[in-house]
């Protein structure tokens, strides 16, 4: 049971960080703290089990944050800039982003001199998407980071055996426009919720 919860919580982390970050962060000196993700996975599954939240309702959430020295969101300099839809699913999404931050996944970004980031989660009747945006000092630096993450996505797709994780990686892409960097995960609504449903079933077992 615990292994299922651990795996589910990491799947949640992958979804919220567009899959590529945990893969790329393996090269970082930071040690991933799984506990926040595990706690979020437990909260997530319990809320779904008790029918406290409808995961399939449309919503959008955009958060702008500043990373502290440890690569975690500084609560005094982090705010929600857009929030539309059901309050319960938005709150769950916010908890998920906080769990990812507390896990230390973003520490390697701080090593790359990233200070400010923007995360957007959007769900419609047709698609779920998650965007991670940041601006680097130069266009050359943005392209270098983008190329590195592209490579790690490709490596991840070849190395990962879990089909759900592989599907997330296959639906992730990187774009750089000048100094701006964008990592986007997008998946058709039915496919996305199929992944969540399968992972929830594993947790039940």
3-class SS at 112?
coil
Instruction: Look up the domain containing 87 and give its range.
Output: 2-204
- pLDDT number for residue 25: 44
Mean pLDDT in the chain? 81
CB distance 62 to 119 below 8 Å? yes
Q: Which residues contact 20 (CB under 8 A, 6 or more apart)?
A: 149, 152, 153, 156, 169, 172, 174, 183
pLDDT of residue 8 exceeding 60: no
pLDDT of residue 10 exceeding 80: no
Domain tally, the chain: 1
pTM of the model: 0.83
Alpha carbon distances (Å) from 61 to 8, 79, 88, 126, 142: 22, 11, 12, 17, 25
Neighbours of 129 (CB within 10 A): 17
Higher pLDDT, 11 or 202: 202
pLDDT of residue 115 exceeding 60: yes
Q: What pLDDT digit, counting tens, does each position of 134-147 carry? A: 888 899 988 988 88
pLDDT of residue 30 exceeding 70: no
Could you give the CA distance from residue 124 to residue 126 in angstroms, rounded to a whole number? 5
State the DSSP code for 31.
P
- pLDDT number for residue 20: 38
- pLDDT number for residue 205: 58
Confidence band, pLDDT 50/70/90 cuts, at residue 166: confident
């Amino acid at each position: 049971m615990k292994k299922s919860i651990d795996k589910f919580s990491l799947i949640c982390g992958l979804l919220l960080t567009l899959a590529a970050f945990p893969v790329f962060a393996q090269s970082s000196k930071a040690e991933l703290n799984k506990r926040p993700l595990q706690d979020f996975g437990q909260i997530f599954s319990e809320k779904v089990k008790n029918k406290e939240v409808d995961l399939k309702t449309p919503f959008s959430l955009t958060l702008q944050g500043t990373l502290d020295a440890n690569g975690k969101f500084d609560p005094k300099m982090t705010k929600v800039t857009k929030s539309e839809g059901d309050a319960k699913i938005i709150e769950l999404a916010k908890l998920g982003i906080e769990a990812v931050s507390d896990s230390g996944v973003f520490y390697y970004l701080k090593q790359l001199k990233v200070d400010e980031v923007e995360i957007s989660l959007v769900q419609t009747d047709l698609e779920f998407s998650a965007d991670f945006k940041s601006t680097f000092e130069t266009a050359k630096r943005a392209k270098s980071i983008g190329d590195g993450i592209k490579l790690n996505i490709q490596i991840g797709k070849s190395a990962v055996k879990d089909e759900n994780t592989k599907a997330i990686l296959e639906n992730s892409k990187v774009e750089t426009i000048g100094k701006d960097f964008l990592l986007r995960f997008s998946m058709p609504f039915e496919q996305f919720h199929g992944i969540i449903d399968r992972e929830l079933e594993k947790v039940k077992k």
